Amino acid sequence: MALSFYQSLARWPLGDPEVALADADRAIKDARDIGQAATLMAALTLTSLTHIHCGSYPAAKLQLDEAITLADEKGALFWKTGAMLVAGCLLAAAGKAADSVSMITSGLNSWRQTGTTVWTPAYFSYLARAHADLGHFDEASRAIGEAISAVKTTRETWYEAEIHRIAGEIALRRAGPDATKAEACFERALAVARAQRAKSWELRAAMSLARLKRDQGRPDVGRNLLAPVYGWFTEGLETLDLKEAEGLLKTLA
């Protein structure tokens, strides 16, 4: 069963969103069949990230609410904090930036008390994203710096490509946008994703760079970059990123 929820987390970056969602469903079913609270809390929390990545926000919220309630009942600080942190990531993804900042900041303080550093690069990247949405660009830069440092110290590279992509987006959105820095960040994100064969992270990085090229008056360059990445996918075409990529390609035509 444990293999199912870790497979779910791994499958989405590799470009298999439908398989990842199927693995998530199977992990939850197996956890319920086992009837062990710790196993169920782990499955509910971890597979909710797959739902967030695919844009299935209501499903993620249902799972996280159940995980937090169960963790409260069992006095499981580790899984309650983990579920709250992922819930903060969900809020950031769903555009509820202020609530996200509050929840992730509080969760990270509690997370440190558990003595673990696992998944901190991902949590800091969502925190940076939420700060940027609020226009708090200094805080966003600090958070993305924390994410990059966490990758180096923990060697947890699962979110590395996305961290560099978000760093590029922050460089573009702040007052006095730095397109040169943003492009370097997007190129770094692409390089990391390609080295990891992580097609979903590559798609996000390609979209960010394609938008930049479009805004620089070079839509053909953006299309030539994005089209082959999007064309690689044969399933999950109704998931959020792939629908966004399809729409972007139309604007670049």
Over residues 38-75, the pLDDT tens digits come to 999 999 999 999 999 999 999 999 999 999 999 999 99
pTM for the model stands at 0.94
pLDDT score for 10: 81
pLDDT confidence band for 3 (50 / 70 / 90): low
pLDDT score for 247: 98
Judge whether 27 and 1 are in contact, CB under 8 Å: yes
Residue 194 has pLDDT above 80, yes or no: yes
* pLDDT, mean of residues 10-34: 93
HSE on the CB side for 104, CA within 13 Å? Answer: 28
pLDDT score for 4: 63
User: What pLDDT digit, counting tens, does each position of 223-250 carry?
Assistant: 999 999 999 999 999 999 999 999 999 9
User: What pLDDT digit, counting tens, does each position of 98-110 carry?
Assistant: 999 999 999 999 9
Q: Distance (Å, rounded) from C-alpha 29 to C-alpha 64?
A: 15
pLDDT score for 6: 72
Report the number of secondary-structure helices (H) and strands (E) in the chain. Answer: 13, 0
Indicate the CATH number of 159-253 among 3.40.720, 1.25.40, 2.40.128, 3.40.50: 1.25.40
Residue 8 has pLDDT above 90, yes or no: no
Alpha-carbon Rg for the chain, nearest whole angstrom, is: 18
Q: How far apart are the first and last CA of the chain?
A: 45
Residue 2 has pLDDT above 70, yes or no: no
pLDDT score for 115: 85
* pLDDT, mean of residues 8-35: 92
pLDDT score for 98: 98
User: What pLDDT digit, counting tens, does each position of 132-188 carry?
Assistant: 999 999 999 999 999 999 999 999 999 999 999 999 999 999 988 999 999 999 999
Judge whether 209 and 183 are in contact, CB under 8 Å: yes
Residue 21 has pLDDT above 90, yes or no: yes
Could you tell me the sign of the dihedral formed by the alpha carbons of 29, 39, 94, 253, in that order?
negative
Question: How would DSSP label each residue in 38-73?
Answer: HHHHHHHHHHHHHHHHHT-HHHHHHHHHHHHHHHHH
User: What pLDDT digit, counting tens, does each position of 66-95 carry?
Assistant: 999 999 999 999 999 999 999 999 999 999
Task: For the chain, give the mean pLDDT.
Answer: 95
User: Which helix (H) or strand (E) segment is 199 a member of?
Assistant: helix 199-215
